[in-house]
Amino acid sequence: MLLKRKLYILFSSGKHVSALEIPHFTRIVADSDFDGLCGAAILKKYSPEADIIFSHAAQIRNGSMDDYINDETVIVDLPFHQKCGWYLDHHQTNRPTDKQSIEFEQNGGVIDWQPTPSAARLAYERVKPYADLANFVDIMPFVDALDSGGITLQEFVEDGELMCFSRTLSQTEPEYMLDIVNMLAAGSTIDEIMTLPEVVKRLEFQRENRKQLQQIVINNTEIINRLAICHLENTGYSSNGYLVTATIGDCVDACCIIHGYSDGDINSPNRPPLSASFYANSFIEHGQNRYDLSRLATRFDPNGGGHMNACGCRIQEPGLEHNLAEWLDMWQHRDTVLRVG
């Protein structure tokens, strides 16, 4: 790990702090999925006064968050930003380069990047010597599995409460997200949170919504050379790879989900820009770690990326038809272009 290069790191305050200690922070910037939420809650547990902003990978990369990030900011489950003071992440394409790391550490920053199953797991391991994280013990295995493609087909089909709960989280509802974070940080268990009327209402909606979305996926998906292409653009719907690959089945090795709006904007959570997400079919034998799908996500979009098994990007000029044609060509030659190892 890059952090282990030095035992001591100089912070902007002029104080030397052990690399194993928790850096000072007053703001948490986190992704708005279950992983990011749990990572934020764990950090909030350590520093209750810290404020929280939920963001998106593209907003970090395109500069939209520049004014909100400084050396008292910890970023979790999002791309690296040179102005933050502490960086926690596990995404393959977010790993700072050696040059970035050296410069960042010389300026007093701390990098915690490891290929853990989730960013929340990294935060959990860093914070647990300093805070009581007992209420996170039961949910951490699920967070790890959900974010690393470790959910089984049976678990997905059964759609248990945690699975359903994860779909209630969205950047479009920051107040709800903050309420959940604050309850977890205050020591509430996930079982206690699940009984709250506002959460129960959202769980009921998500269960019904999944049935509708599954039919929409069936109606809007084509299979080309064992790649499922799901067209959800301009529909107002979005989906994760689990739903698409579970619905389409073992006749595909991966899926490409097109979502967002042709006239969307990266800073508008309710009307995001036209985008693509790529997922390996984790439900089939040897479905993961065969192809590096992040090469598709970064083919046109310099701000695209994620993991080799799950990643995304924005559609780039000259447009969707051109982007998709190039991705299909790369997929056609995947054993030479995308094959891992």
Q: Please, how many CA atoms are within 13 Å of residue 18, restricted to the half-sphere of its CB?
A: 3
* Lowest-confidence region among 12-26, 31-45, 162-176: 12-26
Instruction: Spell out the domains of the chain, with CATH numbers in brackets.
Output: 1-219 (no CATH), 220-337 (3.10.310.30)
Task: Give Cβ neighbours of residue 232 (< 8 Å, ≥ 6 apart).
Answer: 216, 217, 220, 238, 239, 257, 258, 259
Structure tokens at 211: 């049935």
pLDDT band at 9 (very low <50, low <70, confident <90, very high): very low
In Å, the largest CA–CA distance within the chain is 60
- From the list 337, 341, 236, 239, the residue with the least C-alpha distance to 293 is 337
CA distances from 190 to 165, 186, 230 (A): 10, 12, 33
Question: What mean pLDDT do residues 77-105 have?
Answer: 97
Per-chain mean pLDDT for the chain: 93
Confidence (pLDDT) at 246: 97
> Tell me: the pLDDT tens digits for 128-170?
999 999 999 999 999 999 999 999 999 999 999 999 999 999 9
Residue bearing tokens 């998906």: 221
Q: Is 276 left (phi over 0), alpha (psi -120 to 50) or beta?
A: beta
Structure tokens at 188: 């509430």
Beta bridge partners of 170: none
3-state secondary structure of 205: helix
Residue bearing tokens 């209630």: 168
Q: Is pLDDT at 5 greater than 50 in this prediction?
A: no
Confidence (pLDDT) at 36: 98
Question: Cis bond leading into 273, ω under 30°?
Answer: no
Q: Is pLDDT at 20 greater than 90 in this prediction?
A: no
Q: Is pLDDT at 247 greater than 90 in this prediction?
A: yes
Confidence (pLDDT) at 192: 97
> Tell me: the pLDDT tens digits for 258-303?
999 999 999 898 999 999 999 999 999 999 999 999 999 999 999 9
Angle at 177 between CA 142 and CA 57, to 5 degrees: 80
Confidence (pLDDT) at 122: 97
Q: Is pLDDT at 4 greater than 90 in this prediction?
A: no
**DSSP designation for 338:** T
CA distances from 187 to 43, 53, 180, 225, 253 (A): 13, 20, 11, 49, 41
> Tell me: the pLDDT tens digits for 207-236?
999 999 999 999 999 999 999 999 999 999
Angle at 39 between CA 33 and CA 41, to 5 degrees: 100
pLDDT band at 16 (very low <50, low <70, confident <90, very high): very low
Q: Count how many residues are written for the chain.
A: 341
- With a pLDDT cut of 90, the percent of the chain lying above it is 92
Confidence (pLDDT) at 180: 98
Find out whether 69 and 83 touch, Cβ atoms under 8 Å: yes
